[in-house]
Amino acid sequence: MIESLKRKISDRSIKIGVIGLGYVGLPFAVSFAEQGVEVIGFDIIEEKVNILNNGESYIPDIPNEKLKKVVDDKYFIATTDFSKIDEVDLISICVPTPLRKTKDPDISFIIAARDEIFKYIRKGHVIVLESTTYPGTTEELLIPEIKNKGFEIGNDVFVAFSPERIDPGNEKYTIVNTPKVVGGYSENCSIIVKEIYSIAMNTVVIVGSPATAEMVKLLENTYRAVNIGLVNEIAIICQKLGINTWEVIEAAATKPYGFMPFFPGPGLGGHCIPIDPHYLSWKMRTLNYDAKFIELASQINGEMPEYCFRLLIKGLNGISKSVNKSKILVMGVAYKKNIDDIRESPSLDFIKLLEDYGAEVYFYDPYVKTFNVGKCEYTRISFPDDIEKVGFDAAVIITAHSDVDYSKLMNLQLILDTRNVIKDDFKNVVRL
């Protein structure tokens, strides 16, 4: 099988299947299609499939023109028909891995995708799990059943884990120039995945096992969560000492070695940093070990929306106002700058607090037109025109999108800036 796959790689007749066409799966699929490789994208949502087949993209990192070209050239097609798995050689699983309410991993999407794949599995299939998950998932969920079906892994069927490192909104580092880590179940598995991935990606780094590759991803995201937790605590400490946190971090970052700057904020957001470390701490609890750094960072980061809310209360108090009945403008609801993703966004927590305290809440975000918190539906204001019309009591900057002119807020009585975007000459600013 390995020789036949290698021949298909060299003449580009290899076919790629991608299960889950979201923030991760779609860029992955398009990166291969752009290299002249046929890609079939699988999703369970018919509407998404239809949109994509029309050459329209719902992922900002993939502009319509890019998608339309690979659709028109017949290098990319989306489908809900999983029987087409039989037609592809490599199957990349990019389905969600959220947390349950109890903060335990929800791997039901991986299991559902696996069950579909296993209906059509055949000799020559290369299966790569890309969804972020706890160490051991690939070997627990994929390997035993493939063996039970009588396939020899590394000869008939090839299996690996390869963590997705995509950073939505990052124009410098894309799926193509960010090194891709691959941990195959056997040496042959790693070799074949490396050769296929090298069609679309500049650098492929092989590690010794799927579990090692799973752990690489969790180290990367735990590293971020813990360092953000640390710098959030430093922000609280600086506030108590009357020191400007941002000035401290910027000066510390002039050290050319041994220091990497992280910045405080109103809380973690997105599908990765607030979630992934819990996959590791859950796994460790099953082994009777408490992952202490993860829990502490999660506690500090989780308290940040409330900490920032207290700063707002203090600021309003300073101008003899209460949150109750105040008109508050929330600037930014996406979880990070220059993207439209509001999953786990700290803005949603902040808005919930404002609602609970009786504020009249408005928002502006250039990337988000409407969203819901509980039963309330919000529609963005017209910025800056509505600033004067509505007469806000305060603005709270939660997301620091690049293309927003914050100087338009200058005349407000109070601005809570949780991202340090407001220049020094502004008056009435409370900074995190």
- For the annotated catalytic residues, the residue numbers are 272
Q: Is residue 336 at the binding interface for ligand NAD, with CB under 6 A as the rule? A: no
**Among the listed residues 17, 30, 31, 42, the single contact to ligand NAD using CB under 6 A:** 42
Q: Is residue 76 at the binding interface for ligand NAD, with CB under 6 A as the rule? A: no
With respect to ligand NAD, which residue has the nearer C-beta, 79 or 428? 79
* Only segment of 40-48, 69-77, 312-320, 330-338 that touches ligand NAD (CB under 6 A): 40-48
Mark residues 155-194: x for contact with ligand NAD by CB under 6 A, - for none: ---------x-x-x--------------------------
CB of 203 to ligand NAD, least distance (A): 17
CB of 49 to ligand NAD, least distance (A): 9
Q: Is residue 20 at the binding interface for ligand NAD, with CB under 6 A as the rule? A: yes
Q: Is residue 17 at the binding interface for ligand NAD, with CB under 6 A as the rule? A: no
Q: Is residue 22 at the binding interface for ligand NAD, with CB under 6 A as the rule? A: yes
Q: Please count the residues of this chain forming the interface with ligand NAD, following the rule CB under 6 A.
A: 26
**Among the listed residues 79, 131, 137, 301, the single contact to ligand NAD using CB under 6 A:** 131
CB of 55 to ligand NAD, least distance (A): 17
Q: Which residue has the tokens 């003449």?
A: 11
Residues of the shown chain interacting with ligand NAD in the complex, contacts defined by CB under 6 A: 19-25, 42-45, 48, 94-97, 109, 112-113, 131-132, 164, 166, 168, 271-272
